[in-house]
Amino acid sequence: MTTNPAVTVRDLHVKRGNTSVFRGFDLDIAPGKLVGLLGPSGCGKTTLMRCIVGAQRIASGQVTVLGQPGGTTGLRKRVSYATQSAAVYDDLTVRQNLDYFGRVLGGTRADTDRALAAVGLCDQSRQRVATLSGGQRGRVSLAVAMLADPELLVLDEPTVGLDPLLRESIWTVLRALADEGKTLIVSSHVMDEAMRCDEVILLRDGRLVGQMAPSELLESTGTTDADAAFLALIKRHAGETRRRAS
């Protein structure tokens, strides 16, 4: 397996309207890991993911993905992105959606069957997407993201709106993909999901607060749960910022 980072971000500057989201942001993500991108709503998680997949205009800086500039043509089949809002057609059935996107990506019926089984939608394959619950629609989007067997999956809150049993099944799928050597970047604002990852990246107001293994997160903060650990890191980061400013 390559030792080069799957994702490298250097001196990233991004503005949304008149608001600066990132100001000189740096990050490296190693390949073959299940990485949790965590932090409160509005901290920059979705903007960072959009930068990685090439869907976000940046003011300056570099984003390199699998050795190429983020969003370039050569990455179209190597990188998949599932947004918070399900990017599927409501008037088609679940299988018709997957068959359509599969043909676009050069996939097979077997790929569709594999993706349906992975997200637990075999029984709903003939239902129109418009009749599904919000959580089910999100799972259709996740299945589409898995169709091309990508090297990097970027998933924006894939478990939002799911009940505990379905959340568990989705994380089982994500873990299996990482164990196959794929790189996954999974955003969430639910801190306990950090414990399911190989590494967590914690953001706050467009800044990197911490990047470490979950066990290191707890050990370094002397806490026993992810929520308390994140709050401890925030306080530490704020204190360091004040000291540098003084």
For residues 161 and 138, the answer to whether their CB atoms sit within 8 Å is: yes
Question: Which residues make Cβ contacts (< 8 Å) with residue 206, sequence separation at least 6?
Answer: 20, 21, 22, 23, 25, 43, 44
User: Which helix (H) or strand (E) element contains residue 45?
Assistant: helix 45-53
- In terms of pTM, does the model score above 0.85? yes
Where do the domains of the chain lie? 79-149
* pLDDT score, position 2: 52
Tens-binned pLDDT, residue by residue, of the chain (246 aa): 457 899 999 999 999 888 999 999 999 999 999 999 998 888 999 999 999 999 999 999 999 999 999 999 999 889 999 988 778 999 999 999 999 999 988 888 999 998 999 888 999 999 999 999 877 888 898 899 989 889 999 999 888 877 888 788 888 889 989 999 999 999 988 888 888 999 999 999 999 999 999 999 999 999 988 888 888 888 887 777 677 766
Given this model, what pLDDT does residue 23 score? 96
Q: Which long-range contacts (CB under 8 A, 24 or more apart) does 195-199 make?
A: 195/226, 196/34, 196/36, 196/171, 197/33, 197/34, 197/35, 197/36, 198/33, 198/34, 198/35, 199/30, 199/33, 199/34, 199/35, 199/36
Report residue 53 CA to chain centroid gap. Answer: 11
Asked if 127 and 87 count as a contact pair (C-beta separation under 8 A), the reply is no
Are 133 and 121 spatial neighbours (Cβ–Cβ below 8 Å)?
no
pLDDT of residue 1: 47
Q: Which residue has the tokens 């008037």?
A: 91
